[in-house]
């Protein structure tokens, strides 16, 4: 079966093609191993590159996208669908691709599959007039829909109930694994004897990084050798940037995935401090499975499917937007050793997620 994946080149601050990162590259690379022919058609709205490339054996058509390139983008997409005779188009990463993908699937009489990897209502493109109505139409009329979380599946149930499949973000268990704490600290030049709290991901207030910094400053008064490790870049919205220039905060602008594993293992506790908002209530952060795979003690806001993942692990969940609860849980987890979260991930690899998608595709 031949599938064209229509997606953005960027997710948050990451280049999914240049960095070989994220849901699209991991999920569809795994699906390709199940005897699918996969191509990517990728919108580049930052570098505006126009080129073809290869990634994990997948042909990637990168095309510039903005107002001025709009019609050229559609023309090239139409040509790709016409010339290569795909059986289905899968739209992912933005509601705009959902609408465009649905239109061209009908034009070329092929199946349309819509992957909702976030609550797209929080995206900038949703501000376009009539976007909600068009997006809901694409959701209702897709051959089937995949959602990144059970919470998101429930949210869209007023638009569509049947043929909605939950395919969460998976994990590479060979890369993300427990490692010796001291070794990891030495590799990253981190203090060997300090207590370390770590956070990995985009640095945004909307993801609770400002809350974490505030809690850290209070805890540091009681635990003088405490350090906070922040791994990630600021988001596109400067108004959403947290103030991280505090004593005891050690930040890494960006690390390779291998070094992210080191940072997680170097920590005494890792944190997902998300406040409750229309994004966090329905997302499934990559860091959830990544933290669990390393068995580092976790403290996370009880939101979306993170609650399902960490239910049963005492001390790992706390009420969102509650600094006192977050502080208490971090303090408790700092004194713990490793926690065997990893056992819950045995069927949570990207290959497992691809098998779920394969089953849904064969159903149509």
Averages of pLDDT over each 10 residues, the chain, 364 residues: 97 90 96 97 97 96 97 98 97 98 98 98 96 98 98 98 97 97 98 97 97 97 96 93 96 92 98 98 97 98 97 94 96 93 96 98 92
pLDDT digits (tens, 9 = 90+) for 240-262: 999 999 999 999 987 899 999 99
| Model pLDDT, residue 158 | 96
| Model pLDDT, residue 161 | 95
CB–CB of 81/110 below 8 Å? Answer: yes
Residue burial 120-155, b: 16+ Cβ < 10 Å; e: rest: beebeeeeeeebeebbbebbeebbbbbbbbbbbbeb
| Model pLDDT, residue 364 | 85
| Model pLDDT, residue 357 | 98
| Model pLDDT, residue 99 | 98
**Which alpha helices (DSSP H) does 161-285 contain, by range?**
181-187, 209-222, 257-266
Distance CA 228, CA 39 (A): 41
Give ∠ CA 145-150-154 in degrees, rounded to 5.
Answer: 75
CB–CB of 144/363 below 8 Å? Answer: yes
Tell me which architecture the domain covering 2-170+349-362 has in CATH: 3-Layer(aba) Sandwich (3.40)
CATH topology (fold) of 181-345: Rossmann fold (3.40.50)
CB–CB of 63/78 below 8 Å? Answer: no
Distance CA 12, CA 10 (A): 6
| Model pLDDT, residue 20 | 93
CB–CB of 230/244 below 8 Å? Answer: yes
CATH 3.40.50.2000 domain span(s) along the chain: 2-170+349-362, 181-345
| Model pLDDT, residue 208 | 97
Long-range contacts of 88-91 (CB under 8 A, 24+ apart): 88/1, 88/2, 88/3, 88/4, 88/112, 88/113, 88/143, 88/361, 89/3, 89/4, 89/5, 89/6, 89/113, 90/3, 90/4, 90/5, 90/6, 90/28, 90/114, 90/115, 91/6, 91/7, 91/115, 91/138
Task: Tell me how crowded residue 357 is: count the other CB atoms within 10 A of its CB.
Answer: 22
- DSSP string across 115-139: EE-S-GGGSGGGGSTTHHHHHHHHH
Task: Tell me how crowded residue 290 is: count the other CB atoms within 10 A of its CB.
Answer: 23
pTM of the predicted model as reported, rounded to 2 decimal places: 0.95
């Amino acid at each position: 079966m031949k599938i064209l994946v229509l997606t953005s080149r960027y997710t948050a601050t990451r280049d999914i093609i240049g960095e070989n990162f994220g849901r699209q590259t991991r999920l569809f690379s795994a699906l390709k191993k199940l005897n699918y022919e996969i191509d990517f058609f990728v919108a580049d709205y930052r570098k505006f590159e126009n080129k073809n490339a290869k990634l994990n054996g997948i042909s990637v058509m990168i095309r510039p996208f903005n107002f001025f390139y709009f019609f050229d983008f559609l023309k090239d997409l139409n040509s790709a669908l016409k010339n290569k005779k795909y059986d289905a188009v899968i739209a992912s990463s933005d509601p705009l691709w959902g609408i465009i993908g649905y239109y061209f699937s009908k034009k070329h009489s092929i199946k349309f599959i819509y992957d909702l990897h976030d609550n797209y209502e929080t995206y900038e493109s949703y501000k376009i007039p009539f976007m909600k109505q068009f997006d809901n139409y694409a959701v209702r009329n897709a051959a089937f829909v995949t959602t990144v979380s059970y919470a998101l599946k429930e949210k869209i149930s007023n638009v569509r109930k049947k043929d909605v499949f939950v395919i969460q973000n998976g994990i590479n268990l060979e890369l993300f694994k427990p490692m010796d704490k001291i070794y990891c600290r030495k590799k990253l030049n981190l203090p060997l004897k300090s207590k370390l709290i770590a956070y990995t991901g985009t640095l945004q207030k909307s993801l609770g990084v400002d809350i974490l910094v505030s809690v850290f400053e209070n805890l540091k008064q009681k635990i003088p050798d405490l350090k906070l490790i922040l791994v990630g870049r600021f988001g596109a919205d400067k108004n959403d940037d947290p103030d991280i220039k505090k004593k005891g905060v050690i930040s890494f602008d960006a690390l390779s995935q291998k070094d992210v594993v080191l940072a997680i293992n170097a920590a005494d506790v890792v944190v997902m401090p998300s406040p409750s908002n229309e994004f966090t209530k329905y997302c499934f952060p990559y860091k959830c499975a990544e933290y669990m795979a390393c068995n580092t003690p976790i403290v996370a806001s009880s939101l979306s499917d993170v609650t399902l993942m960490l239910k049963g692990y005492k001390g790992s969940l706390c009420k969102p937007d509650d600094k006192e609860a977050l502080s208490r849980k971090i303090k408790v987890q700092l004194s713990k050793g490793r926690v065997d979260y990893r056992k819950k991930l045995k069927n949570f690899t990207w290959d497992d997620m691809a098998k779920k998608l394969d089953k849904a595709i064969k159903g149509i």
